[in-house]
């Protein structure tokens, strides 16, 4: 399977993708451009249309309208070429519960046309990479949810496709397995793969994704780098604490004067907080404070978090639907 990559074509280019199920507008006109060699995050709450979008891009579901190309190949008219270049997690459904993890991976690899020897070597490598070596001989029916998730990702990597769709790879995983998964995703991209990652978790998108599309009710409502999204809502915040707490009111007055913004003072902590619309004014604040003999104990400039971004653009908190990963399965 050596479908030539169209040089210069983005990994994914989708315009106006639509999929309705009866009266449910699962995907309602999605545009996406995913550059090669990056992690692209599709961030949205449960039911936003993430899985349906992924299934259309991976040729598993026919769009009702719109167009999508993967490395320049049309998902509708060149689906065979597209399929040879993508891997999808969650695809590994036809597993045999009575076979061991190793046997399942080998069967899967043989189905992809690899030799017996090649299949055995790759399966052993992948099981080791995903910390499943010890469990490799156990039948799948004894696997926990976290172990299944890792085996699923391992299976999708047998063919090392140039584009990998990871549909909520860490939902419901305990924090340790989750950070292992993050490391694996980073390694994949370092090795030249392009990853489209869907997630309900803001911190995951923030940590992993080079670019993020925020999706809600089947539509992309914002996109850009994490920094661009953060900059699009409100300003950074300056926090500053004078070494001598009794000077806090005087320091607050200076901050207000230099920034021309209202400063708030928390009297107990002696901490001053003010919006920082122009970060280039920071040195002026520091100089003015020194001129007045006010020493600083602590200071930081905080960008708005992705949580605030989500709240601003969707009007509801990001965790309204998302589960708390720390409250999940710990068996893995
Ligand atoms: N096969 C289907 N039949 C009917 N409705 C569906 C089907 N798949 C998804 N939906 C609906 O489409 C919407 C988007 O679903 P989905 O793409 O799975 O969202 P997400 O992956 O973001 O949670 C939801 O309202 C869901 O209930
Ligand atoms: Mg989904």
Is there a single domain that holds both residue 196 and residue 291? no
Taking the CA of 27 as reference, the closest ligand is 1
Same domain, 294 and 191: no
* 171 half-sphere exposure, CB direction, 13 A CA radius: 18
pTM, two decimal places: 0.76
CA angle 300, 301, 302 (to 5 degrees): 115
Pinpoint the alpha helices (H) of 157-276. 175-190, 202-208, 226-232, 248-259
DSSP string computed for 107-168: HHHHHTT--HHHHHHHHHHHHHHTT-TTTTTSBGGG--HHHHHHHHHHHHTTT--SEEEEES
Q: State whether 167 and 225 are in the same domain.
A: yes
CB of 102 sitting under 6 A from ligand 1: no
Provide the edge-to-edge strand list for the sheet that holds 236-242. 264-266, 271-276, 236-242, 296-302
- Residue 107 inside a domain? The answer is no
Q: What is the arithmetic mean of pLDDT over 297-318?
A: 82
| Surface-to-core class of residue 97, CB atoms within 10 Å of its CB (0-12 exposed, 13-18 middle, 19+ buried) | exposed
- Report the C-alpha dihedral over residues 149, 152, 153, 158, rounded to 10 degrees: 160
256 and 210 co-located in one domain = no
Name the pLDDT band for 258 (thresholds 50, 70, 90). Answer: very high
Q: What is the mean pLDDT of the chain?
A: 87
Cα 198 to ligand 2 centroid, rounded to whole Å: 8
- The DSSP letter of residue 298 is E
Give me the CATH number covering residue 225. Answer: 3.40.50.300
Q: Does the residue 225 lie in any domain?
A: yes
Q: 104 lies in a domain? A: no
Phi-psi region of 165 (alpha: psi -120 to 50; beta: other; left: phi over 0): beta
Do 277 and 315 lie in a common domain? no
Answer yes or no: do 259 and 317 share one domain.
Answer: no
Q: Write down the pLDDT at residue 328.
A: 40
The verdict on 226 and 242 lying in the same domain is: no
What's the mean pLDDT in 8-15? 94
* Mean pLDDT score, 163-170: 90
Contact 67, 57 (CB under 8 A): no
* pLDDT of 48 higher than 60: yes
Residue 209 is part of which domain span? Answer: 12-85+161-231+311-331
41 lines ligand 1 (CB under 6 A): no
The CATH number of residue 274's host domain is: 3.30.70.100
So what's the pLDDT on residue 97? 83
pLDDT of 324 higher than 70: no
**Cα dihedral 213→193→200→104 (10° resolution):** 150
pLDDT of 323 over the 60 cut:
no
| Residue in 13, 18, 8 with CA at minimum distance from that of residue 40 | 13
Q: Average pLDDT in the 281-294 region?
A: 96
Query: What total of structural domains would you count in the chain?
Result: 2
- Asked whether residue 196 falls in the same domain as residue 285, the answer is no
Q: Is residue 155 part of a domain?
A: no
Q: How far is the CA of 190 from the centre of ligand 2 (A)?
A: 26
Nearest CA to ligand 1 atom 10: 26
Question: What is the biggest distance separating any 2 CA atoms in the chain, rounded to whole angstroms?
Answer: 77
Q: Is residue 103 part of a domain?
A: no
Does 200 contact ligand 1 (Cβ within 6 A)? no
Q: Are residues 19 and 68 in the same domain?
A: yes
Q: How high is the pLDDT of residue 238?
A: 93
Q: Is residue 249 part of a domain?
A: yes
Same domain, residue pair 78 and 20: yes
Q: Is 50 a pocket residue for ligand 1 (Cβ < 6 Å)?
A: yes
Mean pLDDT of 84-93: 73
Q: Is residue 217 part of a domain?
A: yes
């Amino acid at each position: 399977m050596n479908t030539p990559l169209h040089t210069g074509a983005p990994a994914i280019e989708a315009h106006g993708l639509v999929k309705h199920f009866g009266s449910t507008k699962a995907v309602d006109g999605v545009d996406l451009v995913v550059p090669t060699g990056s992690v692209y995050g599709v961030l949205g709450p449960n039911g936003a249309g993430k899985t349906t979008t992924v299934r259309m891009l991976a040729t598993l579901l026919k769009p009702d309208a719109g167009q999508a190309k993967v490395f320049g190949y049309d998902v509708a008219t060149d689906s065979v070429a597209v399929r040879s270049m993508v891997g999808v997690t969650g695809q590994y459904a036809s597993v045999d519960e009575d076979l061991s993890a190793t046997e399942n991976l080998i069967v899967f690899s043989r189905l992809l046309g690899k030799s017996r020897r090649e299949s055995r070597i790759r399966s052993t490598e992948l099981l080791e990479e995903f910390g499943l070596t010890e469990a490799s001989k156990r039948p799948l029916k004894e696997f926990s949810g976290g172990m299944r998730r890792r085996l699923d990702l391992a299976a999708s990597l047998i063919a090392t496709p140039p584009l990998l769709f990871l549909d909520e790879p860490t939902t419901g995983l305990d924090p340790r397995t989750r950070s292992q998964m993050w490391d694996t995703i980073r390694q994949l991209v370092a090795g030249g793969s392009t990853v489209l990652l869907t997630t309900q978790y803001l911190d995951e998108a923030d940590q992993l994704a080079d670019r993020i599309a925020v999706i809600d009710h089947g539509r992309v409502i914002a996109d850009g780098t994490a920094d661009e999204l953060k900059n699009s809502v409100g300003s950074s915040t300056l926090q500053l604490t004078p070494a001598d707490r009794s000077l806090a009111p005087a320091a607050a007055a200076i901050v207000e004067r230099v920034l021309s913004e209202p400063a708030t003072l928390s009297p107990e902590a002696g901490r001053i907080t003010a919006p920082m619309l122009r970060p280039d004014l920071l040195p002026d604040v520091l100089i003015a404070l020194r001129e007045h003999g006010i020493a600083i104990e602590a200071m930081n400039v905080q960008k708005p978090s992705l949580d605030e971004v989500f709240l601003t653009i969707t009007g509801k908190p990001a965790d309204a639907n998302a589960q708390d990963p720390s409250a999940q399965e710990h068996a893995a």
